[in-house]
Chains A and B, each alone.
Chain A
Amino acid sequence: MDIPYTVTARPDTGVFNAKLGVWLFLASEVMLFGGLFAGYVFLRIGAPAWPGALHGETYAHASEVLNVPLATLNTFVLIASSVTMVMAWASLMMKNFARYRLYMGGTIALAFVFLIVKVFEYGSKFEHGLFPSESNFLAIYFTLTGLHALHVIGGIIVNTYFWGPGAKMWRTDPKRFTNRIEVAGLYWHFVDLVWIFLFPTIYLL
């Protein structure tokens, strides 16, 4: 017996199963990052100075330690990838599979750009001996951005699957495939949104 509402929305709730599922999952993700941010607030309140002393020098602003221009670039990269993700879904809605491929490919490429920039950022920190163990400021920086990067990697895996092997479903069940892209998009926008919160709180405040 088939499970109802996998493709079409249930009339009284107005959603199909996977869409509700991903919203619930995102609610739990909000609590995860909420917990992480709470940790940040808790430690910062207790700290005499932030970022404070690193290798004998005292810093008053996070931006003196972290690379704000690179992070700004990355912010735009992620926002752009969110746009291409929407376009990918919209292309499917307009039944244009070739355009979907293009936009989805763009989303994945932008996600890679984000990660590569991140690698450079981390690399230069390590070169200067700035490791998570140096201070709570760096610990927060690496843990939060690291977890966010893991979410980006998760998104790349999902999107690559839907770009490649998963796209076969377009031929057998286009409606369901479109739904899947919508759901993947919701996740991707969330990852983007987390960064929009992370960037100012960690780099600027």
Chain B
Amino acid sequence: MANGAKDKNTHAAPELDEAQAAHPTHDPGHGPPPEPGFWRKYVFSTDHKVIGIQYGITALLFLLIGFCLVMLMRWQLAYPGEALPLIGKLFGEANMPDGVMQPEFYNQLGAMHGTIMVFLGIVPLAVGAFGNYVVPLQIGAPDMAFPKLNMASYWVYFLGGVVMLASFFVPAGAAKAGWTSYPPLADIETMGQTMWLIGMLFLITSSLLGAVNFLTTIIQLRAPGMTFMRMPFFVWAQFVTAFLLLLAFPPLEAAAIFQLMDRLAGTSFFLPSGLVVSGEVLDVAGGGSPLLWQHLFWFLAHPEVYVLILPAMGIVAEIIANNTRKPLWGYKALVYSVIFLGFMSFIVWAHHMFITGMGTTISAFFQVTTMIISIPSVVILSALFISLWGGSIRFTTPMLFALGFLPMFGIGGLTGLPLGLAPTDIHLHDTYYVIGHFHYVVAPGTIIALFAGIYYWFPKITGRKMNDRLGKIHFWGTILFMNGIFFPMFIQGMAGVSRRLYDGGQVYQIAEPVIHYNEFMSICAWLLALAQIPFIINFFMSLKKGEKVEANVWKATTLEWSAAPSPPVAHGNFPKLPTVHRGPYEYSVPGHDRDYLPQDEAPTVAVER
């Protein structure tokens, strides 16, 4: 075996052996066609890498905006009715007279926080940015299957974001009916809700275009030898995610069209007969059903939570395999679980509707499916945990974040079980417990994993590494304060404190023993903001001054590292399209002097698979 490796060196056949990898900046001879101008290169680019970066930057900005909205809300929750010092007056007389937040404004912030975080922050970052940048590289494709469509989906997403932000400035402000937009309230809302619906139609269109593109790319553009069972788990996660987006979003589109009709054409899809608004019976045809909206909405929104979490799991899987220097434990089990999970996620939606009185039989059905869907999640998480067993773990910054993800997502997932069973959910529904649950999944869960991804692939994109010390400060600050924010929500929720309360629950006696947590949670939220400063500094500093590293800085096996320079070739990614010879995680294979075998390295001995 040892002389097998030597043998390979003398042949120097693969395009990217160690020697060449050390000089990633040297262009590989035959240059691409004449460089396009600035606009075509950076703004209206069709290169999946540029589009991925555009998605990434836009989504990070939206995450920041969504976070700022909630920091304002946290002031009101911690100190109800008190004037917000310094910046309070900036928000205008209508929203914050003398710096005191109005209930209408609180509702705008709440609805837009949820919408922005989910649809404009996390999904575009997890799918639009990481998916776009990494998937074609990991499967050995020169680009996405439909580059122009790819550009279109970014710009439609961007427009959707603009419409959403603009809605703050229409008369009576942005949408106030929550990110769930339940009618009948949403039907009779002010103009901001119409803007919300139009914005959503843009975002849905963008997701659909993206999903078609991802699926076609993964099915059609895999490099020679890249069979489905040799795809990195991250690609699998994106594959299933794209299916969810493709099939779950259209029913919400239908619902949004119905709601637009209700608002603009005076129909009553969601308005029951005899609805009384402000003491008067509403003058509409009636006969509609608010539950219809809930069904259509959750038919999307449950799969959507897997859209939020699956790419995160994919990222974590990549990083764990790479940093334990071991194959992922149970790769096949992971793949089958993620497929099963994707399938099941379409038949659990009504667990969000246990209190709508849908009857015990239907309720039983959705309880059972919900318990079943937790099995593949547990399989995935367990496989990732077991992967750590006996590994010689490298505690790099991405690995820290990936490790943080595991217990945090665990808390989020376990606290979901009582919500999936009607007897317990009836007590917990619409309390802060729910808010705590999904934030654990999505903030210390998904967001932590997305950070892990940023630290992990930053050298791929820029050729430079991010600073480790700042990265570690960022990690500990983030994990600490996120728990500080979200853990007390469980306690408040179990005590019975409702969500969406403008005063944080002050007027309710049941809230009295737990209301003091509000101030603590708010302070943690503001400290969490401070904890992001090292990240922001690190990000920009590393762009210019970060340590320059070789192409395969993490000594990884997957194609994006082993076959492409960092950053990859502008058009086509690879100097020469790779051929794949083995599975994605051949780490520490016995009998080799290196502890990793890249997927594209030509086998030296016939028996090697």
Chain A residues at the B interface, C-beta cutoff of 8 Å:
1-5, 10, 13, 15-18, 20-21, 24-25, 27-29, 31-36, 38-39, 42-43, 46-47, 52, 131-136, 139, 142-143, 147
Known: A17-B146, A139-B269. A32 touches B571 (CB 8 A): no
Contact B287 A25 (CB under 8 A): no
Question: Which secondary structure characterizes the binding site on chain B?
Answer: helix
Bound-complex Cα distance A1 to B577 (A):
9
B-side contacts of A132, CB under 8 Å: 261, 265-267
A-side contacts of B143, CB under 8 Å: 1, 3
Contact B212 A39 (CB under 8 A): no
Bound-complex Cα distance A29 to B211 (A):
13
When C-beta atoms are compared, the residue in chain B nearest to A24 turns out to be B212
Contact B287 A28 (CB under 8 A): no
Bound-complex Cα distance A1 to B215 (A):
21
Contact B216 A28 (CB under 8 A): no
**What are the 6 closest A-B residue pairs judged by CB atoms, nearest first?**
A1-B572, A35-B254, A133-B266, A35-B251, A32-B250, A139-B267
Contact B253 A3 (CB under 8 A): no
Query: Per-position contact with A for B7-38: 1 when CB-CB < 8 Å, else 0?
Result: 00000000000000000000000000000000
B-side contacts of A1, CB under 8 Å: 142-143, 571-574, 577
Contact A21 B145 (CB under 8 A): yes
Interface: B296 (CB within 8 A): yes
Known: A1-B572, A1-B577. A28 touches B211 (CB 8 A): yes
Chain B residues at the A interface, C-beta cutoff of 8 Å:
141-143, 145-147, 149, 208, 211-213, 215-216, 219-221, 246-255, 257-258, 261, 265-269, 284-285, 287-289, 292, 295-296, 299, 571-574, 577
Bound-complex Cα distance A101 to B254 (A):
36
Contact A38 B296 (CB under 8 A): yes
Contact A5 B221 (CB under 8 A): yes
B-side contacts of A147, CB under 8 Å: 257
Bound-complex Cα distance A1 to B143 (A):
9
When C-beta atoms are compared, the residue in chain A nearest to B299 turns out to be A35
B-side contacts of A10, CB under 8 Å: 220
Bound-complex Cα distance A21 to B153 (A):
14
Contact B247 A31 (CB under 8 A): yes
When C-beta atoms are compared, the residue in chain B nearest to A135 turns out to be B285
B-side contacts of A2, CB under 8 Å: 142
B-side contacts of A52, CB under 8 Å: 287
When C-beta atoms are compared, the residue in chain B nearest to A42 turns out to be B292
Contact B267 A136 (CB under 8 A): yes
Bound-complex Cα distance A20 to B214 (A):
11
Contact A133 B267 (CB under 8 A): yes
When C-beta atoms are compared, the residue in chain B nearest to A133 turns out to be B266
Bound-complex Cα distance A168 to B245 (A):
35
A-side contacts of B147, CB under 8 Å: 3
